[in-house]
Structure 1
Amino acid sequence: MPPTTRKPAPDATRRSDRSRRAIYDAALALVAEVGYPRTTIEGIAARAGVGKQTIYRWWSSKADVLLEAFLDLGRQAAEQPAGPGAEGTVPDTGDLAADLKAVLRATVDGLLDPRFEAPSRALAAEGLVNAELSREFVAKLLEPSLQQYAERLRSAQDAGDVRPDIDPRIALELFVSPLAQRWLQRTGPISYEYTDTLVDYALYGLTPR
């Protein structure tokens, strides 16, 4: 009797990874197309080709799905080759102005990237009226970057490049908040020139030197 060929057992881990990736892609695509309020677990499941019970096994709400999908998208971008100032990473070359300009330029690139712009705009807009989502959005997506800005400003204080009495968490708002507001409200174009100017105004003030 000829020997039988045993088929390898299915790799459950690989199958789960494929399902998870399909869910991420479906969630980001849907929120970009129809907005956060009209995005549903059922819609994500149908688009991803999985049962909604699969989603509920891993996440408790659509907010959890979308935030994790967005974080994953950011991790993928971070793994791509990039120089100093890649989005989310504040360099410390000893030149505070150059470091801030570099990371804000990378942020401009991220905000204008079609992969990020539509889902991040939808999540940010919904956060204005959804307090719970806003708290999660800030804690999981914004706070890590804000902490890096604050650490860089503290380093500049230690080097004598920033007044010792300033609060880094307030100071970083001078260049981060105007960029976020202009992008979200579409009050004007965002560009390298714009963010460079924000840094100059924040560091050197408005009065004659």
Structure 2
Amino acid sequence: MPHESPGSPPSDPPGPDASRRSDRARRAILSATRDLVAEVGYTRLTIEGIAAAAGVGKQTIYRWWRSKAAVLFDAILEVNSHEQGSVDLPDTGDLESDLRLVLRGTVAALAEPANDRLQRAIAAEIQTDISVAEELVRRLLRPQLDACAARITLGIRAGQVDESVDADLAVELLFGPIFHRWLLRTGRLDDQFADNILALVLKGLRPH
């Protein structure tokens, strides 16, 4: 059994886990960002406000993010449970089933009240700020759209989709009606709506 030599100082107890402390601070910052942008909008969102709401110093935020837009998009990505470029769609071999899962998930995310407020704040901002719009497409929308297009391309190879179909355009046809209804509040966003869109679009995608 190990023992200390006479006169040697006692072993220091383990200190606080810096990684856990950092992770708690990061999550607090992202949560505060989501709450604030839904409450005051993107234009009035400030690093100072985020820091105060999260209980951290401004320098803590600037250590990890270069701007409030960068913080915001990490906050959105955390809610959507993926990082840039790592979107994976299911591939069960049944294209209709896989796309149904994705579309229903999109509808559910947009219908969730907290996420709805967050997304609407961003939707308003991208009308006048092209840099935020480009960041939204690059970090959030493009990975999702590309992943769906890749899944449709696999459907073409498997003979489930006509070989003449443009996969990117097919994705626009699937998601366009969902975002249109969400943005303009023209009707209910639910599984039935997602399923109806999918059924209609797949009629045009099937091999002729």
Q: Same fold (TM over 0.5)?
A: yes
TM (normalized to structure 1)? 0.84
In the alignment, what sits opposite 1:31?
37
Three-state SS of the structure 2 residue aligned to 1:75 is coil
Distance 1:97 1:75 in 2: 23
Residue in structure 2 matched with residue 82 of structure 1 by the alignment: none
Say which SS state the counterpart of residue 190 (structure 1) adopts. Answer: coil
| CA deviation after TM superposition for structure 1 residue 75, in Å | 2.3
1:43 aligns with 2:87: no
The offset of 1:11, in angstroms, is: 2.6
User: Are positions 1:11 and 2:17 aligned together?
Assistant: yes
Matches of 2:158 and 2:42, distance apart in 1 = 44
Partner of 1:136: 135
Match of 2:3 in 1: none
Unaligned runs of 5+ in 1: 79-87
- Listed as ranges, the gaps of 5+ residues in structure 2 are 1-6
Specify the alignment match of 1:90 in structure 2: 89
Kindly provide the amino acid, as one letter, of the partner of residue 31 in structure 1: V
Aligned to 1:156: 155
CA distance in 1, matches of 2:10, 2:148: 62
Cα distance between partner residues in 2 of 1:160 and 1:145: 23
Contact 1:150-1:172 at 8 Å conserved across structures: yes
Could you say what secondary structure the match of 1:172 adopts?
Answer: helix
Match of residue 201 from structure 2: 202
The match for 1:57 is 63
- How many residues of Structure 1 are paired with residues of Structure 2 in the alignment? 195
In 2, the alpha carbon distance for the partners of 1:25 and 1:201 equals: 38
2:181 partner amino acid: R
Amino acid at match of 1:110: A
TM-score, normalised to structure 2, is 0.84
Deviation at residue 115 of structure 1 after TM alignment: 3.9
Indicate the structure whose relative CO is greater, using CA pairs within 8 Å and at least 6 residues apart. 2
1:105-154 Cα shifts (integer Å, max 9, x gaps): 12111112234222122123212221111111111111111112101111
Deviation at 1:193, TM superposition (A): 1.4
Q: Which residue number corresponds to residue 113 of structure 1? A: 112
Aligned counterpart, 2:4: none
Give matches, 1:167-178, under 5 Å: 167-178=166-177
State whether residues 40 and 62 of structure 1, in contact with CA within 8 Å, keep that contact through their aligned partners in structure 2. Answer: yes
Alpha-carbon distance between aligned partners in 2 of 1:147 and 1:8, rounded to the nearest angstrom: 46
